[in-house]
Amino acid sequence: MLVVIMTILFVTLTAILAVVFFKKSSNEDIARNPEGSEVSSFISAATPTPTPAPPLESYQNPLLYPARSSVTIDKEVKVDPEADPTARGLVESVTMAGTDTEEYVRGEPVFFSDPINYGKVPGILTFRGNNFRNCASFGYTEVKQGTVEQTWEFSDIGSKLASTQLFEWKGLRWTGQPLVVQWTDSMKSSMNLKDSAKSKAGLVEVIAAALDGKIYFMDLETGEFTREPINVGASIKGTPALDPRGYPILYVGQTDDNSDSGKFGMYIYSLVDGLCLYSFEGTGDGAYRSGWHAFDSSPVVSAETDTLIWPCENGLIYTIKLNTAYTPGSSVITINPEACAYKYIFNDNTASHMGVESSIALYGNYGYFVDNTQNLVCLDINAMKMVWCRKLGDDSDVTPVIDEEDGVPYVYIGCEVDNQGPVGEFNGAAYVYKINGLSGEVVWQTSEACYTYNGQTSETDQSGGCFGNPIVGKRTIGNLVIFSYSMTNNLLSGNKLVAYDKTLGTLVWEYKMNIYSYSSPVDIYDSEGNAYILIGDSIGQIHLINASNGKRVTYIQTSRLFKTDKKTSSGVCFEASPVVWGNTVVIGTTSGSVFGLKIS
């Protein structure tokens, strides 16, 4: 027994001495090295404390919070041989002040980060919201009753004769997305707003550019005028853009050569007084497709470098140093733009077919766009050099959508059914892709059968396939990407929303519609993360869908003149894409109206 007791005492004493020794040694190490000993460093490394997300700013979209993307460009990633642009005889150059140069380095490097950082003012400021092109809704949409109700109509939009003089442009068409912005009180006081709009607390302004050549401004809540329209004098079909710095600057592009002034290009307006600050046609830049300077794409602005980035249908990608002079709240704003144009062509392209109708999506200094010759291009905006190019299965005007996974950007894109058959009606494949944004490698590809009519002229075409932009899911549907396919039943008939697993490209659910749609679906979320999808179709119906399973929640048939005794659903067609602010939906029609709707 004595031996046992002595053994226990010895072990206990040894343990105490060991603790004292190591504690003393540690303290001595810390005294010699105030930043900590190797032991303390090892413990810290083994149990890192996560860096907390910065607080959500009042101007940031909570649907994008917290930021998910690190946005780092790995230059060591090798380009997929099938996406190597040099294999197709790439010729590229940069034009500045009418002079071509093959070597260009941007003085102030452009770099776009996570999309939550795009805007410094609350709003949907460009097509699909930001540089990733992934969010056309702002704030939470609380769906309690599962209903959609039409609440207001703005119906003063006219028409304008096309340059061919064969038809009239009217209303809002593809892409035609309105913008939504909540100005600060100091900004409102400096603008030419109506007194009722200036004095309204929390005013949210809707901006809609239309085919009659005017830009309209209305109250999100009521649809009433907030200021007089700006008369551009030329048809506008694409989506304009607001300056993300919260500056009162509006960028708008012309869709047809039918301007009252004879100009054909893009315009920059001051929203202080509605005056044009700058217009640009690009006639001296040596475009391969000369004579057609439509700007159907929706631009973005690098706030840090004061640089506007805007593809054109002449086939050039413009970056414009704006040299903006503006003090927030001031009534004076000036710009002194310097344009730089990137042009390219391959040995299998026809020069007269070059052109870009899709908007550009940006990740860091990489810009992604699709041209009219089936090329999905990754362009280094700072060097103005093509990184890779992937030839798609058909034409596409869809804007690429970016999603980062494990530090790698992936690009989602879909195609029309256009070049797969002869003149007349035929059935073809609308291809959709997930592509590695660094290498150009196809991760997966799939398709849906859609119908198309190829006419003798472009005015008589009626194409099927992907026209609406895809949705990259967030929150509870973060594993999904959702594409809209038009004319899946027959010509002018049928539409499918199809949700795919982002990793595998396998079908998760599909929602079938009897009527086709060119309008982009919009994903909305409640404060608990539950997801819904809203989409309009070509006879004026609005569908609300549960995004977790593809089941319809409700739908309504909208009407024009809906608060009069002439109320009718005849002629109501949605081609333009909607936006959602909280529980309010805003969408334009081809008949000349903009509708406000309430989700409950």
Q: For 390-415, write each residue's pLDDT tens digit.
A: 999 999 999 999 999 999 999 999 99
**Mean pLDDT, range 467-473, rounded to an integer:** 98
Q: In this predicted model, what pLDDT tens digit does every residue of 67-114 receive, in sequence order?
A: 999 999 998 999 999 999 999 999 999 998 778 887 898 999 999 999
**Mean pLDDT, range 424-445, rounded to an integer:** 97
In a domain, residue 453? The reply is: yes
**Mean pLDDT, range 368-393, rounded to an integer:** 97
Backbone angles phi, psi at 543, to 5 degrees: -105, 135
Contacts of 115 (CB under 8 A, 6+ apart): 64, 69, 129, 130, 131, 132, 134, 135
The percent of residues in the chain predicted with pLDDT above 70, rounded, is: 92
Tracing tokens 């540089």 back to the chain, one arrives at 131
In a domain, residue 502? The reply is: yes
Q: Mean pLDDT of all residues in the chain? A: 92
Name which residue leads in pLDDT, 174 or 33: 174
Q: Is 549 left (phi over 0), alpha (psi -120 to 50) or beta?
A: alpha
Measured CA distances, 268 to 59, 238, 275, 336 (Å): 24, 15, 9, 11
In a domain, residue 149? The reply is: no
In a domain, residue 530? The reply is: no
**Mean pLDDT, range 276-281, rounded to an integer:** 97
| CATH classification at residue 508 | 2.40.10.480
The number of folded domains in the chain is: 1
Whether residue 237 contacts residue 296, with contact meaning beta carbons closer than 8 Å, is answered with: yes
Tracing tokens 């012309």 back to the chain, one arrives at 254
Whether residue 131 contacts residue 112, with contact meaning beta carbons closer than 8 Å, is answered with: yes
Tracing tokens 């494949």 back to the chain, one arrives at 429
pLDDT, position 442: 98
Q: Is it the case that residue 22 has pLDDT exceeding 60?
A: no
Q: Is it the case that residue 534 has pLDDT exceeding 70?
A: yes
Measured CA distances, 98 to 159, 294, 310, 464 (Å): 36, 19, 18, 39
Which range of residues forms the domain containing residue 469? 393-519
Q: Is it the case that residue 241 has pLDDT exceeding 90?
A: yes
pLDDT, position 21: 39
Global pTM?
0.92
pLDDT, position 47: 58
In a domain, residue 510? The reply is: yes
pLDDT, position 46: 56
Q: Pick from 480, 393, 405: which is nearest to 436 by CA?
A: 405
In a domain, residue 429? The reply is: yes
Backbone angles phi, psi at 518, to 5 degrees: -100, -10
Confidence grade of residue 14 (pLDDT, cut at 50, 70, 90): very low
pLDDT, position 105: 87
**Mean pLDDT, range 526-549, rounded to an integer:** 98
In a domain, residue 476? The reply is: yes
In a domain, residue 293? The reply is: no
Q: Pick from 82, 141, 147: which is nearest to 436 by CA?
A: 82
